[in-house]
Chain A
């Protein structure tokens, strides 16, 4: 086993010149070890995730710059053109609108909503979760009860209700998604703060006379924020999916551009004759959400770097 890397003549010829390895662990064995494989898998997940995400996000960011027809420009003489026809990369829809342009402009709206929603839900979740975990007592009781109550609520139904009643504007939808997502961040932050608060550095800070809020903000939160933001990244994927589901059900923003779910629901009636109108926007969503999920997974699995100077 220890000299298993002498399998080829070339390797055995090189053997004398190399210093004998003191360890029975060969490079091949290291490469086969679970930890190595895990690290490599994380690396590949990060790479592929980044590629998938960027392939979708860069064109979305550049939608105004790219030479595309206006997303809402109708041309009834060019209805339901197949992809790659007449310079329409994704084809056109039932009103002759360029599908790629619709997807990219709609994507700007979807992404804005998703990012705003996770920022809001992340902020609410981290603040309330940290407060609940650190202060305990009635703060914890109130936050935990609200969390439980929300978990048992019919979520999508409530979201639809709010959107149906208050109108599908971007602020309403952002708010609704943020409200749907904060419990996850709050629960995680709460459980991490519960662990942190028992650590010696917190007692030390207390003995030094720091105020409780100061300890929480300056010492505890920086220690949990990294993991909390990791969850927020995964929530971005969910937020994009949730927004597309709402907009599929007709509860998505209409102006300035229809978002992804709406584009798919528009194309649904033409699925038998014009496959691209549903398939391509869907693939764009899948590509981006897979990318974000892979990034989140890879970041979580990645071996922790040692702290500098430690």
Chain B
């Protein structure tokens, strides 16, 4: 068990390391000079040179990478060019907002999508099921920025129920959460339906039925119990992906999270800020993945961690 956790942690940290290194190489490969966007278009050559020296951009790339590695292990990724504050601090201040939004969205998704998927699986090939099925197709076909703007116009401008942007009150959480959840509910409920349809057709369920198990126990304990892992994994993976910033929705609702931060960091070529965002979000995503894996034995007693390959 401990070995397993250590091994997974090692793999996760390797992924994070490769990710930040890839980003390091990418941003230095690309055209565009952060000194120009920092000093402005009217800067003289000397000013640009001074800015580059100040940020350490005049050194050879390999040396910059060595410095970056040292910074990585001390957890201090330098000062953000545009915020003039430690990059890690800027990102950490934004993180709770993204976390709140992601948590709310995934909870709403789970609460709606799982019962909906089960509902569809229990009455396959009926007209009602077909109708809901087509609705879920529509749900996964709407661009989230468009849904966001539509909800915003409908429920913040025309009928002013919720604040339009930012996170001043809890009401501000509603519209972004719903926007994210529409897509996620469509995807997850279809997945639950697929899983449960397969389970309802499986022989073990016929056996259970013939032994007199019926109603909720049959659906939830027998059928859902067998799908708990894939459903939980899907929800967890989506949650982990949201931690990387629900970029589009954050931009639409001016949500002060990591997603809108990365867009700004990219526009200003704020190298330390880009690095810090990528580092922190991929660390968190890896941690969530690990937690998902560790929860498997709780969901399915047949799973033995560490012998994952055999299971």
Contact = CB atoms under 8 A, between A and B. Distances in A.
The finding on whether chains A and B are genuine partners in a shared complex, rather than unrelated, reads yes
Interface in A263-309: 264-265, 268, 271-272, 275, 278-279, 282, 285-286, 289-290, 293-294, 297
Interface stretch (A162-170, A178-186, A208-216): A162-170
Nearest to B245: A157
Interface residues of B, number: 49
B18 to A, nearest CB: 7
Nearest to B277: A157
A163 B50 CA distance: 28
Given A154-B285, A164-B267, A282 B241 contact: no
Contact of B241 (A155, A160, A165, A289): A155
Interface residues of A, number: 44
A281 B32 CA distance: 33
A244 B150 CA distance: 16
Q: Pick the most buried of A37, A41, A157, A290: most chain B CB atoms within 10 A of its CB.
A: A157
B282 interface: yes
Interface string B217-255: 000000000000000000001001100110110010000
Given A282-B146, A285-B143, A164 B137 contact: no
A264 B31 contact: no
Interface in A124-180: 149, 151-158, 160-162, 164-167
Contact of A161 (B26, B138, B282): B26
Contacts of B248: 156, 245, 248-249
A272 to B, nearest CB: 6
Contacts, number: 127
A237 interface: yes
B153 A289 contact: no
B138 A290 contact: yes
A36 B285 CA distance: 45
Interface in A46-100: none
A38 interface: yes
Contacts of A37: 125-126
B76 interface: no
Contacts of A9: none
A16 interface: no
B31 A154 contact: no
19 contacts: A41-B125, A149-B18, A152-B286, A154-B244, A157-B281, A162-B26, A165-B27, A165-B32, A244-B145, A249-B251, A249-B263, A264-B145, A271-B157, A272-B153, A275-B153, A278-B149, A282-B146, A285-B142, A290-B141
